[in-house]
Structure 1
Amino acid sequence: MADELWREEREFWLAGVAEAGRKLDTSCLMAFPRTGILDRTAAIAALQAAPRWQEITMTERASIETDDVCVLAYHATARRAGADTYRAFCTTTWIQRAGDWRILQHQQTPV
């Protein structure tokens, strides 16, 4: 299960806004250094306002999982066109809803 979610996590960073938004649970909460705490609606608006990432590397990966929940933790190194490299420690909590995995929580702490 965790291998599948690592692929989904990577896709979340790199996918278009519509695909990234599809991965968010209706109860999703996110915490970002510049935009603060966001619910699903605000997170989608923030995704629409920012250029998408072109590249992401996830190191120091760790995960814990149960039947319906998986938490991923990692060190992200990401790049956008024309911007400095972004580095952060991240956690994402994935929850299974009706057979589909959705992001319940995502948090970034800049390094």
Structure 2
Amino acid sequence: MADELWREERDFWLAGSAEAARKLDDGCLMVFAPAGILTRRKVVESLGASPRWQEVTISDRASIETDELCVLAYRATARRAGAETYRALCTTTWIRRDGDWRIVQHQQTPV
């Protein structure tokens, strides 16, 4: 299961805003510095308002999982067009809802 979710995680970084939004659970919360704590609605708004990542490398992977929940922790190195390289420590919690995996939590700490 974790292998599938690592692919989903990478795809979330690189997907278009509509596709990325489909991966979010209705109760999703995300934490970004300096933006703060964002609800699903605010996350979807920000996905449409900012350029998506062109590439991402996920390293130092760790995960814990149950049948219905998986937490991914990792170091991300990402790039957008014309911007400096972004580096962060991240966690994402995926929950299984009606057979589909959805993001219920995501957090990034820039390093």
TM-score category of the 2 structures, normalised to the smaller one: over 0.9
C-alpha separation in 2, matches of 1:56 and 1:34? 21
User: TM-score, with normalisation over the residues of structure 1?
Assistant: 0.99
Q: Deviations over 1:18-73 (max 9, x none)?
A: 00000000000000012111000000001111100000000000000001000000
Equivalent in the alignment of 1:87: 87
Q: Secondary structure at the match of 1:53?
A: coil
Q: Secondary structure at the match of 1:41?
A: helix
Instruction: Please list, as runs of the form range in 1=range in 2, the aligned pairs for 1:59-98 lying within 5 A after superposition.
Output: 59-98=59-98
Letter in 2 for 1:41: R
C-alpha separation in 2, matches of 1:109 and 1:35? 11
C-alpha separation in 2, matches of 1:73 and 1:9? 11
RMSD, aligned α-carbons:
0.4
Instruction: Please list, as runs of the form range in 1=range in 2, the aligned pairs for 1:1-111 lying within 5 A after superposition.
Output: 1-111=1-111
Question: Unaligned regions of 5+ residues in structure 2, if any?
Answer: none
Letter in 2 for 1:105: Q
Question: Unaligned regions of 5+ residues in structure 1, if any?
Answer: none
Q: Deviations over 1:62-106 (max 9, x none)?
A: 000001000000000000000000000000000000000000000
C-alpha separation in 1, matches of 2:31 and 2:48? 16
User: TM-score, with normalisation over the residues of structure 2?
Assistant: 0.99
C-alpha separation in 1, matches of 2:34 and 2:103? 20
C-alpha separation in 1, matches of 2:28 and 2:62? 21
C-alpha separation in 1, matches of 2:18 and 2:46? 12
State the 4+ residue runs in structure 1 displaced beyond 6 angstroms. Answer: none
